[in-house]
Amino acid sequence: MLSCKEATRLTEQKIFEGKLSRVKAWQLSMHLKMCDACKRYSQQSAMVEKAFRERLESTGDETVLHSEVELPGLSPEKKDAILKRLESHL
């Protein structure tokens, strides 16, 4: 069983780097089945990633990637700020 910290790290790796070994992906999915907090985090992270990708695709504005999100290794504070901003637009 992964710790929540490990699950969070794997979630970010999966979403923002787009790669996760089969074993780790399985461990993560097992954790997400049992842990609501990490599941929510995973869903939010996926939403953030999708929002940025769509904005990039629709505007071709690559600065969105560099100015708002530093990949990989986005700090939790920064991610919170991004999430709050996104939510205010929804």
Give the footprint of Zn ion on this chain (CB under 5 A): 4, 7, 35, 38
Fill in the amino acid letter for 81. Answer: A
**How far is it, in rounded angstroms, from Cα 34 to Cα 57?**
34
Residue closer to Zn ion (CB basis): 46 or 61: 46
Residue closer to Zn ion (CB basis): 30 or 81: 30
**How far is it, in rounded angstroms, from Cα 37 to Cα 53?**
24
Write down the least CB distance from residue 8 to Zn ion, Å.
7
Residue closer to Zn ion (CB basis): 4 or 81: 4
Residue 52: both structure tokens together: 């940025």
